[in-house]
Amino acid sequence: MGEAISTPTNTPGTPGTSEVLRATGVDLSYGSTPAVRDAHLTLARGEIAAITGASGSGKSSLLYCLAGVLPPARGEVRFEGRAYGELDDEDISALRRERFGFVFQYGELLPELTIEENTALPLRLAGTRKRPALKAAAEVLDRLGIADLRERRPSQVSGGQSQRVAVARALVHQPAVVFADEPTGSLDSANAATVLKEFLGLARSQDTAVLLVTHDANVAAQADRNYTMADGVLAAKGASA
């Protein structure tokens, strides 16, 4: 049995004052293809960090290491001081389910569930009963201005609306960190800017840290801290806020 992961809700605090994630000397290769080389990164509670870089530079691979999806060949990643290497698979799955949220480029909603059920999924997976989970989902959907869509299925909403639902789902359980890989990459620029603003505003209001992977300099400009990636090498650009 895996060890219980501490409280599933985020602990309020002042953004930028406590470290939530730390990567030290992370290397990752796919066979003989190096994807990430000696990456160092820290993320504070409530902080928004962006990683920009060309296609194939290793951004997604680094994100997968930071989220405990892929184990690094060298180096380590610590979440709230615990190295993933010290945790068993069940602990890491519980972390991903309860303390992390994820947003991908196309939203990736489950077609057979309603918008409200999709949004409530992280809470249901963490054991929250249906009624309070749906209530929490409705509240987040309301904060993102799409409460009226809650009975619809994903096929009945627009691309921008589906990305809002993906954002709602990533934040509904008040995770410590949201990993977002091109979260607005499938949207036109006006829609992308609005969804991003709502996403980061809601994350900041609940002290959730966000790690944003993006090609888009306008997206990265919204972050508190910026990194660039080239040929697997991560470099800090320093605070931009």
Ligand X SMILES: Nc1ncnc2c1ncn2[C@@H]1O[C@H](COP(=O)(O)OP(=O)(O)OP(=O)(O)O)[C@@H](O)[C@H]1O
Query: Is position 30 an interface residue for ligand X (rule: CB under 6 A)?
Result: yes
Give the three-class secondary structure for 200: helix
Nearer to ligand X, 55 or 155 (CB): 55
Q: CA 96 from chain center: how many Å? A: 10
Candidates 2, 12, 56, 132; binder of ligand X (CB under 6 A) is: 56
Angstrom distance (rounded) from CA 200 to CA 13: 17
Binding-site member from 59, 97, 99, 150 for ligand X (CB under 6 A): 59
Binding region for ligand X (CB under 6 A) out of 55-63, 108-116, 139-147, 161-169? 55-63
Quick one: which of 8, 46, 53, 122 contacts ligand X (CB under 6 A)? 53
- In the set 10, 52, 57, 174, which binds ligand X (CB under 6 A)? 57
CA atoms within 13 A on the CB side of 149: 24
- What H or E segment, with its residue span, contains residue 74? strand 74-79
Shortest spacing between CB 63 and ligand X, in angstroms: 8
Q: Does 75 contact ligand X by CB under 6 A?
A: no
Place of tokens 């609940």: 206
CB 209 within 8 A of CB 177: yes
**If binding is defined by CB under 6 A, does position 214 make contact with ligand X?**
no
Closest CB 134 distance from ligand X, rounded Å: 34
210 neighbors 49 (Cβ within 8 angstroms): yes
